[in-house]
Structure 1
């Protein structure tokens, strides 16, 4: 039988069921933090790991805490109203139709491609990071279709949400996360990568341990655990649009079926995953190093299907 050590690029797994850790495993292998090569790393419980686009899902959680405090606009409100520094864009009727919800659901209708490698400026997220003004870059992209019609993967949407949080709360995104999510959950170690302009990446910059990531999943199972409003989690995790592969998308979270189980998922490049299975009271956090690989989804799904689910019974 295949072992966890034999799975390609697997760096860490933490599975928690009904508050008890049922599986914890760490490997050794090469890793990178964005484009910075870290060499061969011996992973352990305290080793921080890039979460890549799981950052987007955690940004959505933070949006909910800021919304409950009245610091950010409601999802239905016009998006460009929160960016008055771009009056020329707001004057465009097609762009004036954009709402915060279109950013939350990645349905802005703007031209945005992230299929080129994340090492190339042809990738829109990389181009955003290189732009002199990342928010103008996002909001001035050519209009491809009416907003709200279709899900189109867009790190720029998450960056806009990060701006709304930091500007609305007057607190840098990493500090806001520390005060209003991490510390209340007992997470005492994190990093947040910034772009060349010094702005923390709300799309892909967060680094946490697998244990910390699992703690966030456990918070979701606990209806916010008194830290995040339960009403926001219910709203955030409501299916709204279909993804390209047939799953559903809520507010920066995926809602899927795996082997007949309802799965809430946060996903990141390289095989980073947070799986939350409410009916099994199960959370599985997986970190991997298969960045930009065509089959990067295989390892985390194998962990869930072959090493965790067979040991869980309702």
Structure 2
């Protein structure tokens, strides 16, 4: 049973379907595989692999090289919106798709935009100073050590466990959804270790960031993201699923099209600038994409972004989401890979996307 099905089965109202917001569409240039430096049969190899069952669950793929679309594929498959089944969808370039935890990384970018406007606290600021409604928590000497930076890097040191199935009410994200106050729930978790000592995957951390953006801007998270990130990038359609409290599920509710996810990746390559406009401050982007800590898998982790190296030793940064959602950017190769998939809540569901990126994209580079 998945997250939404569990909430419904236990008597909660279904989470609100997201409203679709529109702006002015971005125009993309396309280039041949050979011109982009790929083997000319790279697309055919992906088609055969999907037909042979090697890439089960793949829904969409967009590959950019030097800012142009070199490869784009869409396939039919079962899909859902945060656990609410949509049946089998014949995907195409205009179909929105759940990004799940890729949402976290995009919220990290939006936070930097709000910070440049003076709307949210700096990373070094005491966290609980931004939550005056919880004076009892602020009076705790151990919690006084929490900084906004610990939220950005998921090193808060509080007990949080999303390894349990979403059918289990002990899963911290499910428990957060049911809490009368999701932000107090996150901040009131038992202290496991000093802040900054270790990385613990936490959708609750991103929920706090989303709240700070909304509070500081006086707008809903999706509205602010639309005005300051999506619309300036030419992302003309998006949706953001709400949690039970009616606010956007900052950690996992964003829905974009693969091309638009790729546009986020290209923005990173372009140091936060698009069409002559600085959308994300370059300094903030550098902080996001600098390893501040290390995950349990040995990857670097910045401000809501993962960092690593591919088989050739080339550095990459990226974002991952339940079901195989993936955005990978390799600066040296000027390459962006955006993947959407439907392997939600399946053990090893991310392996297909890793195989696709490593074997069929990186492995197809001729130069």
Partner of 2:239: 191
1:296 to partner: Cα distance:
1.4
CA distance in 2 between partners of 1:155 and 1:139 (Å): 12
What is the total number of aligned residue pairs between the two structures?
314
Deviation at 1:87, TM superposition (A): 0.4
Aligned twin of 1:278:
331
Matched, 1:238 2:281: no
**Deviation, structure 1 residue 310:** 2.9
Alpha-carbon offset, residue 214 of structure 1: 0.1
Query: CA contact under 8 A between 1:4 and 1:303: conserved in structure 2?
Result: no
Whether 1:309 and 2:355 are equivalent positions in the alignment is: no
State the 1:292 CA deviation. Answer: 1.4
1:290 aligns with 2:343: yes
Task: Map 1:80-229 to 2 at 5 A.
Answer: 80-225=128-273, 226-229=278-281
In structure 2, distance between residues paired with 1:245 and 1:213: 24
Give 2:98's aligned residue: 50
Structure 2, unmatched stretches of 5+, are 1-44
SS in 1 for 2:69: strand
Moved over 6 A (4+): none
* Partners of 1:40 and 1:311 in 2: CA distance: 30
Please state whether the residue corresponding to 2:88 is helix, strand or coil. strand
CA distance in 1, matches of 2:231, 2:366: 32
- Give the secondary structure class of the aligned counterpart of 2:78: strand
**Aligned-pair CA distance for 1:304:** 1.0
CA offset digits 1:39-82 (Å, max 9, x no partner):
11111101111000000000000000000111111000000000
* Structure-1 separation of matches of 2:250 and 2:348: 25
Classify the secondary structure of the residue corresponding to 1:190. Answer: strand
Contact 1:35 1:119 in 2 (8 A): no
**CA RMSD across the alignment:** 1.1
Cα distance, 1:122 vs structure 2: 1.4
2:142 partner SS: helix
**Per-residue Cα deviation, 1:134-171 (whole angstroms, up to 9, x for no partner):** 00100000111111000000110000000110001111
Q: Deviations over 1:3-54 (max 9, x none)?
A: 2443110010000000111110111111111121111111110111100000
- Any unmatched runs of 5+ in structure 1? none
Q: Tell me if the contact between 1:107 and 1:152 (Cα under 8 Å) persists in the aligned partners.
A: yes
CA distance in 2, matches of 1:119, 1:54: 21
* CA deviation map 1:258-306 (0-9, x unaligned): 2122110101011100001101000000001111122112111111112
User: Whole-Å Cα distance in 1 between the matches of residues 69 and 355 of structure 2?
Assistant: 19
The answer to whether the 8 Å contact 1:11/1:29 transfers is: yes
Q: Does 1:252 align with 2:304?
A: yes
Tell me the CA shift for residue 313 of structure 1.
4.7
Q: Distance in 2 between matches of 1:242 and 1:155?
A: 17
